[in-house]
Amino acid sequence: MTSFDRLPEGAAEIFGEGATAHHAYDLLTVDVPATAWTDALRTARDELGCTYFDWLSAVDEPGTGFTVCAHVAALPGPGGGTVRALLLRTTVPHDNPELPTATGVYAGAGWHERETHEMFGVVFTGHPHLVPLLLPEGFEGHPLRKDFVLAARVAKAWPGAKEPGESDHGGPKRRQMLPPGVPDPNEWGPLKGQLPPAPARAPRAAAAGGERPARRTRTAGEATPAPRRARSVSEGSATQRAAAPGDAERPAPRKRTPDAPWQRPEPPEQPERTDPERTDPAGEKGDDA
């Protein structure tokens, strides 16, 4: 039995105290403390045979921190076999996102850590060249953080939504919802402190228990609406009755014009030709003879 076969039950025995593992969606995932990050990577490479480094990135988990993930794999040998993948994860806090570099174990992690640093702000201590990789020079902030301000929404406010039945005119508007990354224009941007506070909606008066709204009574001077006339199925609808034969004259057909071949007047019908009975002259001669 290999070390891979002892997972996920033997995660703490293989990766040390505090390590947990689970298997889902054909992928083995191992979570380790941040202090054991490089040791866990070295264990995956040396004991599990995960010599192939695939990628490294992070996820911003609000209220938890940054989850740094490294995907590695053990390739089959010359005799064949299957690829066995492993996802190593650890978490660093938002207020101090530091983690030892993985370049000492997997040299290919260098560029991945540079990208993770500029997108999330995670500092990989001991990295030989931790400089921006993709963003332009002078870019401020880390765009993949959940608290990163979307500057485009500062110039154009978030559209928000309205309550059911609320019209566009009259009455206060609903307070606009601000998803992560969309700032309040009264707190961030060129209009900071210049906008009036959002108007409050007037409270709706609650009816007392058991009360029903009074029904409007009709006075004697008001006309009573005419009752609706019931019509049976055999009589048909009003439009069907109007279209019945004899109720209205049919419109005259359009006169054909000779300028279009498909509208030339039709020739009059020719009567059938009936030929008179023919007699055989030879037969007549035979009779005379």
Q: What local confidence, expressed as pLDDT, does residue 147 receive?
A: 87
77 by DSSP, 3-state: which? strand
Phi first, then psi: give them for residue 232, nearest 5 degrees: -75, 170
How sure is the predictor about 91, in pLDDT bands with cuts at 50, 70 and 90? very high
Q: Is the pLDDT of residue 213 over 50?
A: yes
H or E stretch covering 206: none
27-31, 178-182, 198-202: least confident range: 198-202
| pLDDT value for 102 | 98
Relative to beta strand 84-92, strand 27-31 is parallel
Average pLDDT over residues 158-184: 57
Does residue 281 register a pLDDT over 80?
A: no
Q: What is the mean pLDDT of residues 199-216?
A: 58
Q: What is the mean pLDDT of residues 94-121?
A: 97
Is 90 exceeded by the pLDDT of residue 231? no
Of residues 152 and 240, more confidently modeled: 152
Mean pLDDT, residues 256-271: 63
pTM score above 0.75: no
- For the chain, domain boundaries: 4-125
Which range (18-22, 221-225, 281-285) has the least confidence?
281-285
Query: By three-state DSSP, how is residue 6 classified?
Result: helix
pLDDT number for residue 229: 63
pLDDT tier, 223 (very low <50, low <70, confident <90, very high otherwise): low
Higher pLDDT, 286 or 45: 45
pLDDT at 158 over 70: no
**Residue 255 pLDDT level (bands cut at 50, 70, 90):** low
What pLDDT sits at residue 169?
Answer: 47
Structure confidence by residue, pLDDT tens digits, 17-38: 999 999 999 899 999 999 999 9
Q: What single letter denotes the amino acid at residue 229?
A: R
Give mean pLDDT, residues 268-280: 64
Handedness of CA 107, 11, 23, 89 (dihedral sign): negative
Task: Output the average pLDDT for the chain.
Answer: 78
Residue 225 has pLDDT above 90, yes or no: no
Neighbour-count burial for 251-275, b at 16+ CB within 10 Å, e otherwise: eeeeeeeeeeeeeeeeeeeeeeeee
In terms of DSSP H, where are the helices of 34-108?
37-46
Work out the average pLDDT over 79-83: 87
The pLDDT value recorded for residue 195 is: 72
115 has pLDDT over 90: yes
Nearest to 97 by CA among 61, 122, 60: 122
More confident residue, 241 or 148: 148
- Residue 50 confidence (pLDDT) above 60: yes
Domain 4-125 sits in CATH at: 3.30.460.80
- Band (pLDDT 50/70/90 cuts) for residue 289 is very low
Q: Which residue has the higher pLDDT, 166 or 48?
A: 48
Residue 247 CB contacts under 8 Å (≥ 6 apart), including other chains: 241
Q: Which pLDDT score, from 0 to 100, does residue 187 have?
A: 73
